[in-house]
Structures are given as structure tokens and as C-alpha cells.
């Protein structure tokens, strides 16, 4: 009852720059419609015609890519406040499958709405651009993890990354967070198997770096964890000095 005066998208975007009126109007348009999806539902498939983007209001979702023989790779995890679908706007068809990791609520909006943003709201355009390219850096980090880290290091990396993401919107209890993904899903994120995810989790727990209970994880030794996987947080800071208009925090 007390929330919703500020949507989580506005909240997220305001974190990076002061939004002008035009920007706020555009964002409001993004969130006109709402759609509930239930756990394990697949919202779209690879190859589907691609006309909408989605704002996540509630729940975790993820995007994955399949190989023919059943192997799959989860390539992005979507949290409340995320916009889903940017990677695909350059194409007419979906390149991944979007699946709900738990019950969730989405706001679909047509990608054609973006042309208005580019014409009328350079500030928001620049911000979305910045977020899109920031995502690329996040994927670069991720690639480094998958390509060059051991199983143990990957798990550490994964947990720290989830934590850093969640910290942007929720200022909840530090170090502890809900993880609504099963180990098979985590293995598909990290390029491992569910069995080895289990073993690595157990090992990290045995060494006192983390602890688990139910669907939540607590990071006990953040510094040691960061050392393990050479982690750097890409989520909290954003350089907005090059943004057009008077809204840049040019300091």
C-alpha cells in the first residue's frame, strides 16, 4: 500500500541521474500495462516475433539460449526494476527464451515507443544507452568468469554479482539475500552441472565463506569472496558526465 508512488524503474533510473519531466513521462508510458506470469512460465521463445520490451515489477526471471542437444546457457537474470529485451531490439526475432524463475509481474511496452524517446527525450535516451553498454561490461566480467575461473570461483562471483545487483534497489540486510534459483539453473548460468554446483556450494559453506538456509544465502566473508574471484562492482556507479542537457552531474 505504501509503495508504488515510485515505480521500481523510476527508482532505479533516478539512482543514476535526476530525471527531467520528459523522461518521467516516457517512463510512465513504459509502465501502463501489467501482466502476471507464474513460475516456470516461458514468456517468449527464441524466434518469436519481437515487438515488446518488459519492465520487471516483481519476481526474478531469466533469459537463456539453447543448444540443439539440450544443453542450455542462462545469459541474463532479471530482477525488479530491470528492463528486459534490449539486446533483441536490433533484431526482428527473439534470440533467447524468457522464463520466470518464480511468480512475477511484468509491464510490456512496444519497442516502437523508443523512437519517441530518441526524438523527444535525449536525456533518457542517453541513460538507456548508458545502461545498455554497462550491461555489456557486466557480460564481459561474466565471460571472464565462465572462460577462466574454476567452479568455486564462479560460484563466488555469481553470489557477489547477485548481491551487487540487489543492492541498487533494496537496501536490505547486508550480505543476506533470497536466491530463488535452483542449482540446475545456477549451473546453467555458470556453465557447470547441478552436481558440481552442489559440491562447490558445500565447499564454500564448509570454509565459512557463506551460509545457506532455505532459499536464502548469506555472504559471511565478503572480502575473501571478492579476492577469490577478483570481483568489481559495476552496478552502483555510472558515469553520466557526458549526458546531454543540464542534468549531468558534471562533478
Instruction: Return residues touching DNA (CB under 7 A).
Output: 150-152, 182-184, 191-196, 198-199, 201-202, 212
Go through 70-84 and write b for each residue having 16 or more CB atoms within 10 A of its CB, e for each that does not.
eeeebbbbbbbbbbb
Q: Which does 134 bind (CB under 5 to 8 A by kind): a copy of itself, DNA, none?
A: a copy of itself
28 lines the binding site for a copy of itself (CB under 8 A): no
Q: Which residues pair with 109 in a beta bridge?
A: 53
- Smallest distance from the beta carbon of 110 to a copy of itself, in angstroms? 9
- Smallest distance from the beta carbon of 149 to DNA, in angstroms? 7
Tell me, residue by residue from 29 to 48, as one string, x for binding to a copy of itself by CB under 8 A and - for no binding: --------------------
Dihedral angle sign, alpha carbons of residues 163, 164, 168, 173: positive
Q: Is 127 exposed, middle or buried (0-12, 13-18, 19+ CB in 10 A)?
A: buried
161 lines the binding site for a copy of itself (CB under 8 A): no
Number of residues that bind a copy of itself (CB under 8 A): 60
167 lines the binding site for a copy of itself (CB under 8 A): no
Q: Give, as one character, the DSSP assignment of residue 88.
A: G
Q: Which does 198 bind (CB under 5 to 8 A by kind): DNA, a copy of itself, none?
A: DNA
Rg (the chain; Cα; Å): 19
- Answer for which of 68, 213, 223, 246 binds a copy of itself (CB under 8 A) is 68
- Residue 36 cell numbers, joined: 502476471
CA distance 74 to 7: 27
Question: In this chain, which stretch among 32-40, 99-107, 133-141, 169-177 interacts with a copy of itself, using CB under 8 A?
Answer: 133-141
- Answer for which of 13, 56, 114, 219 binds a copy of itself (CB under 8 A) is 114
CA distance 12 to 128: 12
Single out the residue of 101, 154, 124, 164 nearest to residue 16, CA to CA. Answer: 124
Q: Are 245 and 20 in contact (CB under 8 A)?
A: yes
Sheet strand arrangement including 97-100: 42-44, 97-100, 61-66, 72-78
Q: Which does 201 bind (CB under 5 to 8 A by kind): DNA, a copy of itself, none?
A: DNA
- Smallest distance from the beta carbon of 37 to a copy of itself, in angstroms? 22
Whichever of 146 and 176 has its CB closer to a copy of itself, that residue is: 146
3 lines the binding site for a copy of itself (CB under 8 A): no
- Helix (H) or strand (E) segment spanning residue 133: helix 122-148
- Smallest distance from the beta carbon of 71 to DNA, in angstroms? 8
Query: Which positions touch a copy of itself (CB under 8 A)?
Result: 50, 65, 67-68, 71-73, 75-76, 86-92, 95-96, 111-112, 114-116, 118-119, 122, 125-126, 128-137, 139-144, 146-149, 190-191, 230, 234, 237-239, 241-245
Amino acid at each position: 500500500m505504501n509503495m508504488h508512488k515510485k515505480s521500481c524503474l523510476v527508482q532505479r533510473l533516478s539512482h543514476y541521474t535526476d530525471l527531467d519531466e520528459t523522461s518521467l513521462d516516457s517512463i510512465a508510458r513504459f509502465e501502463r500495462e501489467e501482466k502476471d506470469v507464474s513460475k516456470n512460465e516461458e514468456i517468449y521463445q527464441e524466434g518469436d516475433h519481437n515487438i515488446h520490451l518488459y519492465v520487471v515489477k516483481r519476481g526474478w526471471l531469466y533469459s537463456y539460449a539453447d543448444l540443439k542437444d539440450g544443453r542450455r546457457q542462462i545469459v541474463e537474470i532479471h530482477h525488479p526494476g530491470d528492463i528486459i529485451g534490449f539486446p533483441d531490439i536490433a533484431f526482428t526475432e527473439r534470440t533467447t527464451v524468457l522464463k520466470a524463475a518464480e511468480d512475477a509481474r511484468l509491464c510490456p511496452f512496444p519497442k516502437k515507443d523508443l523512437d519517441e524517446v530518441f526524438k523527444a527525450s535525449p536525456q533518457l535516451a542517453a541513460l538507456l544507452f548508458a545502461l545498455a553498454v554497462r550491461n555489456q561490461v557486466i557480460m564481459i566480467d561474466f565471460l571472464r568468469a565462465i572462460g577462466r575461473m574454476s567452479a568455486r570461483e564462479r560460484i563466488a562471483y555469481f553470489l557477489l554479482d547477485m548481491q551487487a545487483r540487489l543492492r541498487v534497489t533494496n537496501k536490505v540486510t547486508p550480505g543476506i539475500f533470497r536466491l530463488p534459483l535452483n542449482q540446475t539453473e545456477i549451473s546453467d548460468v555458470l556453465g557447470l552441472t547441478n552436481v558440481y554446483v552442489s559440491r562447490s556450494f558445500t565447499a564454500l559453506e564448509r570454509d565459512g565463506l557463506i551460509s545457506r538456509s532455505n532459499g536464502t544465502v548469506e555472504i559471511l566473508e565478503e572480502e575473501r569472496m571478492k579476492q577469490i574471484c577478483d570481483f568489481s562492482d559495476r552496478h552502483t556507479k555510472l558515469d553520466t558526465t557526458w549526458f546531454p542537457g543540464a542534468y549531468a552531474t558534471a562533478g
